[in-house]
Amino acid sequence: MPTIEQVVQRDICVGCGACQFATRGEINVRRNELGYYSADLSRARPHNLATASRVCPFSNESQNEDVIAAAVFPAVLKSDPRTGRYLSIAAARVRADDYLLGSSSGGLTSWILMQLLESGHIDGVIHVGQGGDGLFSYRISRSRQELTARRKSIYYSTSFNTALQSIHGDGQRYALVGVPCFIKSARLLCMEDRLLAEQLVYFIGLVCGHLKSAAFAELLAWQCGVSPAGLAAVDFRLKQPGQDAGRYHFGARAGLVNSEWITRPTSQLLGGNWGHGMFQLNACNYCDDIFAETADVVLGDAWLPEYRADWRGTNILLCRNALIQQLIDQGKTAGELFIQPLSVAQAANSQAGNFRHRHEGLALRLADDQNAGHWVPNRRVMPDHNVVGNRRRELIRRRRELSRASHGLFAEAREQGSLDLFIDRITPLVRQYERYNAASLPRRLLGLAKRRIQLILS
Ligand SMILES: Cc1cc2nc3c(=O)[nH]c(=O)nc-3n(C[C@H](O)[C@H](O)[C@H](O)COP(=O)(O)OP(=O)(O)OC[C@H]3O[C@@H](n4cnc5c(N)ncnc54)[C@H](O)[C@@H]3O)c2cc1C
Ligand code: SF4
Ligand code: SF4
């Protein structure tokens, strides 16, 4: 049996839409009542299930990140198990401060896309922006104006089938932007579809902690006084001059015109703490790719103390493509970009929480699932109960439970029109998590101190 069936049955589907594209719509991927995309395999014939399984990032019939990277990148690239292959690693920022206000981090993602477009290497960009199906969806941008308007991180479930269908066979070349699993499934699609492979010429990855359902935007907005029914737009990353870059605000609007943005510090909103994993998709519990290992370049936030202190935001950047590297080097020489080389250890350190969740955490979750007799996808991390101590083990389990419960509890609160209902029911789970979190803090601080000493010595 193709394991895509297990992926969907166990709710490990991330909703990318690759199976829908590969089966010309026989598999339908749509947003469910919990606010995230997932596949419906009920009408798929066996040969199409087999095809879909080859492009699904979580099935056992698809190639893993190591195999894909070996096929698409030159062997001369350096490699590290934490980051995958790389040509260069740096902290980076666009130097124009007014431009940076409209970007989430250092602005390099949209800057690279603009260079590719304006130098004629691509005709358009396939990326997530406002509008379409829900608050955000995959859109096609073909001009500087469109690229400038569609910036910032979108923590919201989307699917790329409709966008890919709309460009398929139009004879033009595109860059695709996505979180690591979307980049992986697009690469897998290109292995199956030569026409698409000729069109998707650059893959731009975003470092990814986890993806959220639409409920994340709705919960934060509701606390700003905008109910789910009246919500017209959100901004997940409003920079705060003079403050730590991680202390960004969230904004919500009830209408697209003549309506004020209502903003609050994200960290003060229930659900705004990424450690709680509220509305995280279950797929993310099974993911081991942090640095989009199959992308030509990957960008994230340089969450290291020296860059965090700068409110403008700074990217962590890993480049794997010679032409993109050349564009970056030219931007540096022209004085448009701030670029500071970093070591692979610094890159990994900038995502320390991600590694705890996705490597140690994944090993434990796989072991827990196997013990419970559940199917699990083949991952590059092995199941292991003893990868962490007792307290951390409980913390990882509490986080998983909090994450799982948040979806249903919010759907009920939304139906009943009561934010308080959600707050009352989720709060005990948050408290329980925080008790374990406080208990494991001294160990994490010790780990941090050890890593800093290693960095100084390296
Ligand atoms: C779900 C998610 C989780 C993330 N988790 C982490 C993390 O744990 N650690 C970390 O360091 N960084 C993470 N990032 C990346 C980070 O938030 C920034 O997006 C990244 O640093 C790029 O910032 P920038 O200023 O260079 O981009 P900008 O100049 O703001 O441009 C952003 C570009 O990315 C596109 N885009 C935004 N969101 C999406 C999306 N969901 N799918 C496809 N295209 C999109 C936009 O359309 C735009 O073209 C995450 C991003 C996302 C979307
Ligand atoms: S993860 Fe993507 S390819 Fe796999 S079942 Fe879900 S939508 Fe289809
Ligand atoms: S954490 Fe992994 S599975 Fe989840 S959205 Fe990010 S890349 Fe995809």
Q: What is the pLDDT of residues 295-308, one digit of tens each?
A: 999 999 999 999 99
- CA of residue 153 to ligand 1 center, whole Å: 4
What's the gap in Å between 30 CA and the centre of ligand 2?
11
Residue 455: pLDDT band with limits 50, 70, 90: low
Distance 152 CA to ligand 2 centre (A): 25
Q: What is the pLDDT of residues 412-423, one digit of tens each?
A: 999 999 999 999
Mean pLDDT for all residues in the chain = 95
Q: What is the DSSP string of 130-170?
A: ESSSSSEEEEEE-SHHHHHHS-S---S----HHHHHHHTTS
Q: Would you say the CB of residue 299 lies under 6 angstroms from ligand 1?
A: yes
Our answer on whether the CB atom of 14 is closer than 6 Å to any ligand 3 atom is yes
Q: Which atom of ligand 3 is nearest to the CA of 281?
A: 4
Give the number of whichever ligand sits closest to the CA of residue 124.
Answer: 1
DSSP for 322-351, please give it.
HHHHHHHHHHHHTTSEEEEE--HHHHHHTT
| Ligand 1 centroid – CA 107 distance (Å) | 10
Mean pLDDT across 312-339:
98
- Residue closest by Cα to atom 4 of ligand 1: 208
pLDDT bin (cut points 50, 70, 90) of residue 439 is confident
| Full strand arrangement of the beta sheet holding 88-94 | 136-141, 124-130, 174-178, 200-206, 297-301, 315-319, 88-94, 337-341
Determine whether the shortest distance from the Cβ of 167 to ligand 2 is under 6 A.
Answer: no
Ligand 3 midpoint to CA 41 (Å): 21
Cβ neighbours of residue 65 under 8 Å, at least 6 residues apart? Answer: 84, 180, 184, 288, 289, 293, 294, 380
Residue 112, ligand 1, Cβ within 6 A: no
N residues, the chain: 458
